[in-house]
């Protein structure tokens, strides 16, 4: 497996460098950043090989998607924001180089609440590679691929269960929308990564104080703008009239919904939650697939809709058995879900911003999947034992007593598995 991934990486990198304009600089940057993150990932002694293989595989998928988007100029189709970050990032770099007036537009955009952190990131990358959108995409690809190991550490910390952590990691590494948003020059990839890092740091700091995780948390919150503009954002989003204005603008587009909803009052905001929640979690629906961009989401949505019962089961189990350990992630996902349910009025935006909470939802989906698998394995074992008892020559009353004994034994074993999983002791389970 390692040799195959190395060969694929070399072949893909060489092909891009030789056939695409700007490809050499983008591949070189991608390689340097990937090696740096790979070294960090390799410090996780448990499951080191698995995590590195998932990281490289996820990176290759994202690089390939990024190349297709770049080569066929599909940025506007999938995310026109990439051109905005390219323009303002380049202007910011020029202002650093002494071109008077170049940074004014960037500052105005940032003051209006734009993605100022992405401008600085793009400017820094362009300072190294020149104006190269593919380089930004490849940097984001590395960031997106690294998110999966971070989620592994979060899930492992909460549940102490290897199967849950591995399954959540695979979801985050290869789920189509998470791959798509981290394959472009958009802010989604860095934001999702930093949210995951912030959650990991919070979980670790809840266990004990650590300079390393405190520094990680501060850096992540700084990029996200929490420390830079907390007061201004609180004033803006705490004003329901401002939320109503933003929501109304989104709802008036062709993919908008609930145009007549008014969230400028507390009652209006609360009444908007049920419909907004349904759209945030499940849109786009089959009857909304009016064009190619919406239609290509259908396979992913079928998987997500099928996974939702597992999510509910995983959340139920977590609240019942691991509430204290999972409280930070439960609070964050609940609050962000409710906030987006009120704020969003556009199917496309809801679909895109759902990715910010999907990485955490998948932890609970993995828990539900493990519970279902354990139940199936237990049922199969019970059936096997029942068949064995039925074919054994013994009096009927003895067979009945033996069946009851085996059933009671199965129940005790099942309860022990549940308790072990809750206490984080089910290390005997391997994925």
pLDDT per position as a tens digit, 390-404: 665 555 555 566 667
Q: Specify the pLDDT at position 232.
A: 43
Distance between CA atoms of residues 143 and 137, nearest Å: 10
Distance between CA atoms of residues 295 and 299, nearest Å: 9
Distance between CA atoms of residues 272 and 345, nearest Å: 10
Q: Specify the pLDDT at position 234.
A: 43
pLDDT at 424 over 60: no
Give me the mean pLDDT over the 170-174 stretch: 97
Residue 289 falls within a domain, yes or no? Answer: no
Of 396 and 167, the structure prediction assigns the larger pLDDT to 167
Q: Specify the pLDDT at position 402.
A: 66
Q: Are 122 and 91 in contact (CB under 8 A)?
A: no
Distance between CA atoms of residues 22 and 307, nearest Å: 40
Of 205 and 182, the structure prediction assigns the larger pLDDT to 182
pLDDT at 30 over 90: yes
Residue 28 falls within a domain, yes or no? Answer: yes
Q: Specify the pLDDT at position 428.
A: 41
Place 132 in a pLDDT band, splitting at 50, 70 and 90.
Answer: very high
Q: Specify the pLDDT at position 305.
A: 94
If one counts the domains in the chain, the total is 1
pLDDT at 37 over 70: yes
Which three-class secondary structure string do you get for the chain?
CHHHHHHHHHHHHHHHHHHCCCHHHHHHHHHHHHHHHHHHHHCCCCCHHHHHHHHHHHHHHHHHHHHHHHHCCCHHHHHCHHHHHHHHHHHHHHHHCCCCCCCHHHHHHHHCCCCHHHHHHHHHHHHHHCCCHHHHHHHHHHHHHHHHHHHHHHHHHHHCCHHHHHHHHHHHHHCHHHHHHCCCCCCHHHHHHHHHHHHHHHHHHHHCCCHHHHHHHHHHHHHHCHHHHHHHHHHHHCCHHHHHHHHHHHHCCCCECCCCCCCCCHHHHHHHHHHHHHHHHHCCCHHHCCCHHHHCCHHHHHHHHHHHHHHHHHHHHHHHHCHHHHHHHHHHHHHHHHHHHHHCCEHHHHHHHCHHHHHHHHHHHHHHHHHHHHHHHHHHHHHHHHHHHHHCCCCHHHHHHHHHHHHHHHHHHHHHHHHHHHHCCCCCCCC
Strand partners, 346: 256
Which tokens in the block code for residue 34?
Answer: 């990937």
CA atoms within 13 A on the CB side of 96: 13
Length of the chain: 431
Distance between CA atoms of residues 203 and 227, nearest Å: 19
Residue 98 falls within a domain, yes or no? Answer: yes
Q: Specify the pLDDT at position 276.
A: 86
Which tokens in the block code for residue 242?
Answer: 């401002």
- Look at 115-124, 160-169, 220-229, 402-411 and tell me which has the smallest mean pLDDT: 220-229
Distance between CA atoms of residues 362 and 171, nearest Å: 7
Residue 234 falls within a domain, yes or no? Answer: no
Residue 138 falls within a domain, yes or no? Answer: yes
* Angle, CA 399 vertex, CA 398 and CA 401 arms, to 5°: 65
pLDDT digits (tens, 9 = 90+) for 319-349: 999 999 999 999 999 998 988 888 777 787 8
Place 230 in a pLDDT band, splitting at 50, 70 and 90.
Answer: very low
Residue 398 falls within a domain, yes or no? Answer: no
Distance between CA atoms of residues 93 and 96, nearest Å: 5
Which of 51-65, 72-86, 203-217, 383-397 has the highest mean predicted lDDT (pLDDT)? 51-65
Q: What predicted TM-score, i.e. pTM, was given to this entire model?
A: 0.85
Q: Specify the pLDDT at position 229.
A: 44
Residue 246 falls within a domain, yes or no? Answer: no
Domain that holds residue 113: 1-221
Residue 94 falls within a domain, yes or no? Answer: yes
Peptide bond into 184 cis (omega under 30): no
pLDDT at 172 over 60: yes
């Amino acid at each position: 497996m390692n040799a195959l991934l190395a060969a694929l990486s070399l072949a893909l990198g060489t092909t891009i460098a030789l056939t695409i304009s700007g490809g050499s600089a983008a591949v070189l940057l991608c390689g340097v950043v990937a090696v740096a993150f790979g070294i960090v990932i390799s410090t996780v002694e448990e499951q080191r090989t698995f995590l590195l293989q998932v990281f490289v595989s996820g990176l290759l998928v994202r690089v390939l998607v990024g190349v297709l988007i770049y080569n066929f100029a599909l940025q506007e189709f999938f995310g026109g924001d990439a051109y905005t970050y390219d323009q303002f990032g380049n202007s910011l770099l020029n202002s650093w180089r002494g071109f008077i007036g170049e940074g004014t537009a960037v500052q105005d955009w940032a003051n209006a609440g734009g993605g100022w952190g992405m401008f600085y990131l793009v400017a820094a990358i362009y300072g190294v590679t020149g104006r190269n959108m593919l380089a930004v995409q490849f940097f984001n690809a590395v960031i997106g691929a690294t998110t999966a190991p971070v989620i592994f550490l979060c899930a492992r910390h909460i549940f102490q269960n290897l199967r849950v952590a591995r399954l959540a990691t695979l979801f985050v590494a290869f789920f189509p929308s998470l791959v798509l948003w981290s394959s472009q020059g958009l802010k989604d990839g860095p934001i999702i990564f930093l949210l995951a890092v912030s959650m990991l740091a919070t979980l670790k700091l809840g266990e004990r104080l650590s300079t390393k995780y405190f520094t990680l948390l501060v850096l992540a919150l700084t990029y996200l703008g929490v420390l830079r503009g907390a007061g201004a954002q609180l004033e803006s989003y705490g004003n329901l009239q401002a939320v109503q204005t933003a929501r109304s603008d989104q709802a008036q587009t062709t993919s908008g919904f609930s145009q007549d909803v008014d969230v400028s009052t507390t009652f209006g905001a609360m009444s908007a939650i049920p419909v907004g929640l349904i759209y945030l979690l499940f849109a786009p629906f089959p009857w909304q697939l009016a064009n190619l961009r919406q239609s290509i989401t259908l396979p992913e949505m079928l998987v997500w809709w099928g996974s939702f019962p597992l999510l509910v089961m995983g959340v139920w189990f977590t609240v019942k058995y691991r509430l204290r350990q999972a409280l930070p992630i439960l609070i964050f996902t609940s609050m962000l879900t409710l906030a987006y349910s009120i704020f969003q009025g556009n199917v496309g935006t809801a679909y895109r911003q759902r990715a910010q909470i999907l990485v955490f939802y998948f932890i609970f989906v993995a828990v539900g999947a493990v519970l279902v698998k354990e139940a199936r394995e237990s049922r199969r074992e019970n059936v096997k034992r029942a068949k064995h008892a039925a074919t054994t020559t013994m009096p009927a009353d003895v067979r009945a007593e033996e069946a009851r004994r085996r059933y009671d034994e199965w129940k005790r074993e099942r309860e022990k598995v549940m308790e072990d999983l809750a206490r984080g002791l089910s290390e005997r389970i391997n994925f």
